[in-house]
Amino acid sequence: MVKGFSESEVKNDELIKDLKNEKKGLASFLKGKKFTYTLPGKKQINIFGSIVLGLNLGLVILVILYFNNQEFHDFIFNVGR
């Protein structure tokens, strides 16, 4: 006998099937609805790409200011306390 397995069969298969058939929460709400996924258009890709690049550029500028400008470093240090 392999460790972790018993030779007697488990009789709770009916309970497992009932749990699988009954949907709860968000699954029951979305049960009858059909959703289709559409790829974003070129304009939407450009907008999100611009936002991401702009935020990354802002983060890089703030990091450079943090390491090179003592007043900005002190401001961030004091705000974080």
Domain interval for residue 53: 13-79
Q: What is the pLDDT along the chain (81 residues), one digit of tens a residue?
A: 556 666 666 555 555 555 556 666 777 777 777 777 788 999 999 999 999 999 999 999 999 999 999 999 999 999 987
Is residue 66 one of the residues assigned to a domain? yes
Is residue 70 one of the residues assigned to a domain? yes
Is residue 6 one of the residues assigned to a domain? no
Is residue 69 one of the residues assigned to a domain? yes
Number of domains in the chain: 1
Is residue 42 one of the residues assigned to a domain? yes
Is residue 48 one of the residues assigned to a domain? yes
CA 74 to each of CA 16, 58, 60, 61, 78: distance values in angstroms, whole numbers, following the listed order: 60, 19, 18, 16, 6
Is residue 34 one of the residues assigned to a domain? yes
